[in-house]
Homo-oligomer: A and B are copies of this chain.
Amino acid sequence: MIHFQQAQDHHLADLVALLADDPLGSAREDPSVPLDPGYVEAFDAITADTNQLLVVALLDQTVVGTLHLSFIPGLALMGAWRGQIESVRIRRDHRDAGLGQAMIEWALERCREKGCRIVQLTSDKSRAEAHRFYERLGFEATHEGYKLRL
């Protein structure tokens, strides 16, 4: 039985492992345990902020997916709240089973509850399969996504 909820401390190592098990993530994450303190500090910052929702997908208590949802107030669009989705991952052995779609739809429902009028995300241009996935769900690639490393 799939269940989505806010991540708890004891999910953190599994979440980092999910982020690392990815063509792009493998070069920039370190899933070794004990976890780098940067992950623990980030987890604490996320869970302390009521506008951040770190989501975990659980299949019989096993972590099989994650995404990070941020609620962002803004003046634009007549003062619309935005939902923003980052760091979407489904465990390698649980893909193509509708789990990703169910997780995004669960996140969209949280956005509706919060009163968001727009939801946004960016996806690396190399992730062609992800793009088809988001387009099937109704997202439109209307924008260029710019990044700058400091």
Chain A contacts to B: CB under 8 angstroms: 15-16, 19, 25, 28-30, 36, 38-43, 45-46, 49, 51-52, 54, 68, 70, 72-81, 83-84, 86-87, 108, 111-112, 116-125, 131, 134, 137-150
B139 near A73: Cβ-Cβ < 8 Å: no
Copies in the complex: 2
A42 touches B143 (CB 8 A): no
Q: Looking at chain A's contact residues, is the secondary structure mostly helix, strand, loop, or mixed?
A: mixed
**A43 touching B75, Cβ below 8 Å:** yes
Question: Once the chains bind, are A29 and B149 in contact (CB under 8 Å)?
Answer: no
In the complex with contacts A49-B51, A116-B150, A38-B79 CB distance below 8 A = yes
Residues of chain B contacted by A141 (CB below 8 angstroms): 125, 144-146
Q: What B residues does A146 contact at CB under 8 A?
A: 120-123, 134, 139-143
Residues in B whose Cβ lies below 8 Å from that of A28: 76-78
Residue of B nearest to A104 (CB): B148
**Could you say which residues of chain B place their CB within 8 Å of the CB of A78?**
28-30, 36, 38-39
A143 and B118 contact, CB distance less than 8 A: no
Cβ-closest 5 pairs across A and B = A143-B145, A42-B79, A38-B79, A45-B73, A122-B143
Which B residues touch A138, using CB under 8 A? 148
Query: Whole-angstrom distance from the CB of A75 to the nearest CB of chain B?
Result: 5
